[in-house]
Structure 1
Amino acid sequence: MNKVQENLFNLVLEIDDICTKYDVEYYLAGGTALGTVRNHRFLPWDDDVDLYITRDNWNKLRNVIETEDNVVPEGRTFVYNGNTKYYNNPIVRYTDNTTTAIYKSQALPGKACGQHIEFLIMDPMPTGEEEIQEYIKYLRIYTELMSPYFVVNKNLSLDEWKEHYKLYEKYCDRVDSEGEDKVLKELEDKLLYFSTEECVEFCMRWGIQILRYRKEHLGTPRLENFEGNLLPVAEQSECIFRIAYGDSWMYVPDYEEQIVHNAFQDIEIPFSEYTDLYLDKINRDSVFEKYKINKRSNARAFYNRRKIDSLIAKEKVFVQSQHITKNIEGKEDFLR
């Protein structure tokens, strides 16, 4: 483990202590779970830790955080939408306040800017296919409206984006006329209506990528060796890896496919020493409103930007194919 990973590992052990004490189930997720099952350690390039938690278990943990004393160790904070102004993110963060990891999209809240563990909430989905597609449609709108900092659903195809943007624009008009809180509450009522007992699948409350897992994939947490400690992963983790990473999940990816993050990191200095330099010099309410305006402009221009990128890529493919054809002409025997 490098220094960043050592600190993240200690945060995981703290989370495990809290969840064990209060009977809250969670699972190592993403690259953390992959490294645990495949190598029993961090992936060498890994610089973050993700956890899955079902909605029921998050509600239980949230209730403990908000009603019990001395749950969270000194120098740590749970940050989530609902307890932190300007933190418009469906992901919960357990933050180490004695370190720094600042992402552009979290610079304004200024409270989730340390090394952190991310809880990815898994919500029960409806069961019918039409209902599932309706659910996904509104989940995308919900996450798009919630975050003013960047375009969330940027992985959609161009045709999907056209439909998504049409509905997003309609909901933006409703936000302007009815208020953001009311519209988001209405969407939450649509999305958080389904129960764990009745569902067949869970869906990650994220938006950037729609990841759906069957209830039995998460199942009862199974313990795996992670850096010398037994920690929980999903019961059918291998099925989850296949959905998230494809059939090649057992193979170590090439360098350019190794996912690292673009945070400004400082393991030695509390993030407040950085955030204090700018937070008291700006009007955060005003900046937040300008973020929203900028987000709508970016969403409006997104289709044309993607279209141009696609045309450029197509031309590059054409030019390269001409080079390849020219270079192999007359060399059939050599190629054979």
Structure 2
Amino acid sequence: MVAGEFRKYSDDEIKHLHDIELMILKDVVEVLDNHNLTYYMSYGSLIGILRHGGFIPWDDDIDIMLFREDFDKSLDILKDELSDKYDLIQMDYIDDCFGSFAKISLRNTTFSRWYTDYVEYDLGINIDLFVLDNIPDSDFIAKLHHYAYVFFYQFVINSCIKMDMYTKFRTKMHHAVYHFLNIIPINKKFWKKVLTKVMTIFNNKKTNKVVDCFSFRIYDRDDFEPAVKAKFEDFEVRIPKNSDKMLTQVYGDYMKIPPVEKRYNSAPDVLDFGEY
């Protein structure tokens, strides 16, 4: 495949993918509900609920978010209770994983991404769990916090994966950085701890705003509860009480359907549904 090109999903592929992701969501939500852990549908999945009653027809993932306390509690619980069928993909659980959010990945399936050739763990068809941390109301401090997150996230990425870059020179430079960052005791575990500390630095303070550090989306805390029940395909899920406000501040007029030429997501080079 030529650089800059990508593969599009066939209609059958995207429908099959949706069916499997919905199965994953139902399994995850069942565990979260059983343990009174609060989640909210988010991003494209939330748009899909309000605009289409389920998936955006061309969307290829499911996004949910949790406040830090519930996110941290959920990881061990999901890992233990879904371990016969799923893998938990998150940087604190897998040595060469650099994701500060989490994925619940269906075993014996394949969903390749740009980084999967450079890691030892298998990535299957999955859904995303994003985490919300406290952030002060000050726009200036919020930007500084974001810059700190991006800065240390680069240390995590460059210490976790040794990949080929666009040119031989950049590849050699990256490999040199990779080896340098893995010198004991300053190794990938150290950088992951630093990144988590940056993400959670304001969590011991009461703030009016929260942030998804990975996407740098800032929300008003009061926009979440009391949550509202809504239909996602044939399944009832939780959405923030002020979903319209939250989506508008991120996407603008999210109810406007994009032109045909923009209704796609790039499909992975390898998509294997396994037995499902």
Same fold by TM-score, threshold 0.5 exceeded? Answer: yes
Q: Which residue of 1 aligns with 2:140?
A: 130
Deviation at 1:176, TM superposition (A): 7.7
Deviation at 1:234, TM superposition (A): 1.6
Asked if 1:253 corresponds to 2:266, the answer is: no
The 8 Å contact of residues 76 and 96 in structure 1, kept in 2 or not, is answered as: yes
The 8 Å contact of residues 107 and 113 in structure 1, kept in 2 or not, is answered as: no
- 1:240 is matched with which residue: 231, 235, 246? 246
Question: How far apart, in 2, do the equivalents of 1:87 and 1:141 lie?
Answer: 17
The 8 Å contact of residues 122 and 203 in structure 1, kept in 2 or not, is answered as: yes
- 2:229 is matched with which residue: 212, 217, 223? 223
Question: How far apart, in 2, do the equivalents of 1:188 and 1:73 lie?
Answer: 25
Asked if 1:72 corresponds to 2:91, the answer is: no
Secondary structure of 1:141's partner?
helix
RMSD: 2.8
TM-score by length of 2: 0.78
Question: How far apart, in 2, do the equivalents of 1:205 and 1:107 lie?
Answer: 26
Deviations 1:252-274 (A, max 9, x none): 1113333513422121369xxxx
The 8 Å contact of residues 38 and 250 in structure 1, kept in 2 or not, is answered as: yes
Find the structure with the greater CA-based Rg.
1
Deviation at 1:61, TM superposition (A): 0.7
What amino acid is the match of 1:257? K
Question: How far apart, in 1, do the equivalents of 2:150 and 2:72 lie?
Answer: 22
Deviation at 1:86, TM superposition (A): 1.1
In structure 2, relative to structure 1, the CA distance for the partners of 1:41 and 1:258 (3 Å cut) is same
Q: Structure 1: where are the runs of 5+ without partners?
A: 151-170, 271-336
Asked if 1:267 corresponds to 2:273, the answer is: yes
Q: Which residue of 2 aligns with 1:22?
A: 35
Deviation at 1:175, TM superposition (A): 4.8
TM-score by length of 1: 0.65
Deviation at 1:12, TM superposition (A): 0.6
Deviations 1:206-242 (A, max 9, x none): 1xx4211111223333110111221111221111211
Which has a greater percent of helix? 1
Secondary structure of 2:126's partner?
strand
Q: Which residue of 2 aligns with 1:285?
A: none
Deviation at 1:48, TM superposition (A): 1.1
What amino acid is the match of 1:41? G
In structure 2, relative to structure 1, the CA distance for the partners of 1:261 and 1:204 (3 Å cut) is farther
Deviation at 1:191, TM superposition (A): 3.0
What amino acid is the match of 1:8? E
Q: Which residue of 2 aligns with 1:191?
A: 199
The 8 Å contact of residues 28 and 78 in structure 2, kept in 1 or not, is answered as: no
Q: Which residue of 1 aligns with 2:112?
A: 102
What amino acid is the match of 2:231? N
Percent of aligned positions that are identical: 14
Deviation at 1:129, TM superposition (A): 3.6
Q: Which residue of 2 aligns with 1:46?
A: 59
What amino acid is the match of 2:61? D
Question: How far apart, in 2, do the equivalents of 1:129 and 1:227 lie?
Answer: 37
Question: How far apart, in 1, do the equivalents of 2:205 and 2:53 lie?
Answer: 32
Asked if 1:10 corresponds to 2:29, the answer is: no
Deviations 1:13-39 (A, max 9, x none): 001101001111111112111111122
Q: Which residue of 2 aligns with 1:203?
A: 211
Deviation at 1:245, TM superposition (A): 1.1
What amino acid is the match of 1:133? K
In structure 2, relative to structure 1, the CA distance for the partners of 1:127 and 1:47 (3 Å cut) is same
In structure 2, relative to structure 1, the CA distance for the partners of 1:55 and 1:261 (3 Å cut) is farther
The 8 Å contact of residues 84 and 109 in structure 1, kept in 2 or not, is answered as: no
* Highest RCO, 1 vs 2 (Cα 8 Å, sep ≥ 6): 2
Secondary structure of 1:235's partner?
coil
Deviation at 1:184, TM superposition (A): 4.5
The 8 Å contact of residues 126 and 135 in structure 1, kept in 2 or not, is answered as: no
**Pairs aligned (count):** 245
Secondary structure of 1:188's partner?
helix
In structure 2, relative to structure 1, the CA distance for the partners of 1:82 and 1:254 (3 Å cut) is same
- 2:48 is matched with which residue: 10, 26, 35? 35
